[in-house]
Amino acid sequence: LYSTCSIESKDGAQFVSDEAIHQDCSGCTVPHHEAYIKKYFSRDWFEIMGSVQNVKENQV
C-alpha cells in the first residue's frame, strides 16, 4: 500500500518498507480539531482509501 500527505505538509514523514509506504502524520502541525477536519478533510473511509495504490499488485 502507498499513502501520501494530502496537504503535502513539510512536517509529515513516511514509514517505508519493501511492500508499503505509510504516511506518518504524528509530527504534523496542522490543526486536528474536529471543526478543521470536517471543513478540509473527508471522513469517509471508502473515499479516502479509494485512491490508495496497491504497490504489491501494481493496482489502483
Distance CA 60, CA 53 (A): 4
Distance CA 10, CA 14 (A): 11
For the stretch 34-60, pLDDT in tens is: 888 788 777 788 887 787 776 666 554
For the stretch 4-39, pLDDT in tens is: 777 778 887 888 888 888 888 888 877 767 888 788
Q: What is the pLDDT of residue 57?
A: 63
Task: Give the global pTM.
Answer: 0.40
Give the pLDDT band (50/70/90) at residue 1. low
